[in-house]
Structure 1
Amino acid sequence: MTTETLSETDRGKESLLYRSVENLEKVNSERDLSENWYAIKLLFEYVISGEPDPIKIDGGYDEEKTYEESIYLIHADSFESAYEKAETEARSNEVSYQNPYGQQVDLKFVRSLDSFHLFDEEPSDLTEVYSRQLTAHKHTNTNDFVKRMFPETQEDKSTD
């Protein structure tokens, strides 16, 4: 698309985007790029094996599979190095233990999910450590979107 075919609004957006990229390039050229901060999102799985001790089963017991998202703050010289560092740390945090029901639990690193480059030179109070954009159909209701994408934020409405 050429600039001549852009609306006034689109030209303004294009100009703003160009200035933003230009400013980012300037900031990066002035910084020592060998020392950046990254947030790496990782996925872990709790693998449970064995049968629960029937005597120990209580109201807290369930048979759902559990995954854990974890975000590590990494100081590295590149995205690749940050991923490598995060994945090495994640593997070193794999553990095995017995749950209260007598079953073996193995916390296993599954994979890296995402990364985020922090633009602040040093993290401090209110530093954004992770961000992602999510898209949905333009008629999507916000409450429905939150329920679908972030079910963990919903209060349990079930009664005992």
Structure 2
Amino acid sequence: MSSKSRPRAGHSWYGVKTLYRCSALGRPKATDRSYDPWVTMVEERVVLFKTRSSTEAIRAAEKEARAHAKLDYVNPYGQRVVMRYLGACETFELFDPPGHAREVYSTTELVSKRVPDRLVIDRRMGIDEGPRPSLRRKKFLNQEFSGIVSRGV
């Protein structure tokens, strides 16, 4: 076992959730039926860190989040896509080491009993985008992998 993989005394695993927002900048060179000029995309990530405290985990997560948010590429419409770290993070200390079927993140929220389950699900998991959500997400794909939209519709 290398010194990098050996457990360190006093260190715990933390799952840290961070939030980001992606935007497409500039005028599109072409559009199609999938193009929505008013949509941005929010990403929620949970990344594991092994640190001495939740404060240390947050510091590490914020550093990693700033690096992750340096995303910058061109979408299929010829627009520059950028990501911003929203400056929001939340930690969860794992009770067990990471492994198969182990909990890596959990959070709770108090909700009025009058709020319907569907609204809770939509708020926590995102609104169902319908049978073809990937079409509206095309705006956030990297044209290097997805191709270029060359004609207007």
Structure 1 length as normaliser, TM-score?
A: 0.68
Q: Which has the higher helix share?
A: 1
1:84 is the counterpart of 2:59 = yes
Superposition CA RMSD, Å? 2.1
Partner amino acid, structure 2, of 1:78:
S
Correspondence for 1:105: 81
SS of corresponding position for 1:92: helix
Aligned length: 123
Give the deviation of 1:44 after TM superposition: 1.2
Given residue 59 of structure 1, which amino acid in structure 2 is its aligned partner?
Answer: R
Q: Counterpart of 2:45?
A: 70
Q: What is aligned with 2:108? A: 133
Instruction: Tell whether the 8 Å contact from 2:26 to 2:79 is kept in structure 1 after alignment.
Output: yes
Shift of the 113–36 alpha-carbon distance from structure 1 to 2, 3 Å rule, reads same
2:32 is matched with 58
Distance between the aligned counterparts of 1:123 and 1:132, measured in 2? Answer: 17
TM-score (norm 2): 0.71
Alignment of 1:39-50 (within 5 A): 39-50=15-26
> What one-letter code is carried by the residue in structure 2 that aligns with 1:125?
H
Classify the secondary structure of the residue corresponding to 2:62. Answer: helix
* The structure with more radius of gyration: 1
Query: How far apart are residue 59 of structure 1 and its match?
Result: 2.5
Instruction: Verify: 1:151 aligned to 2:126, yes or no.
Output: yes
Q: Hey, what's the Cα distance between the residues in 2 that align with 1:95 and 1:147?
A: 27
Structure 2 alignment gaps of length 5 or more? 1-7, 133-153
TM-aligned CA distance change 1:77 to 1:148, over 3 Å: closer
Deviations 1:70-92 (A, max 9, x none): 11111111111111111111222
Structure 1 unaligned spans of 5+: 1-31
- Deviation, structure 1 residue 145: 2.5
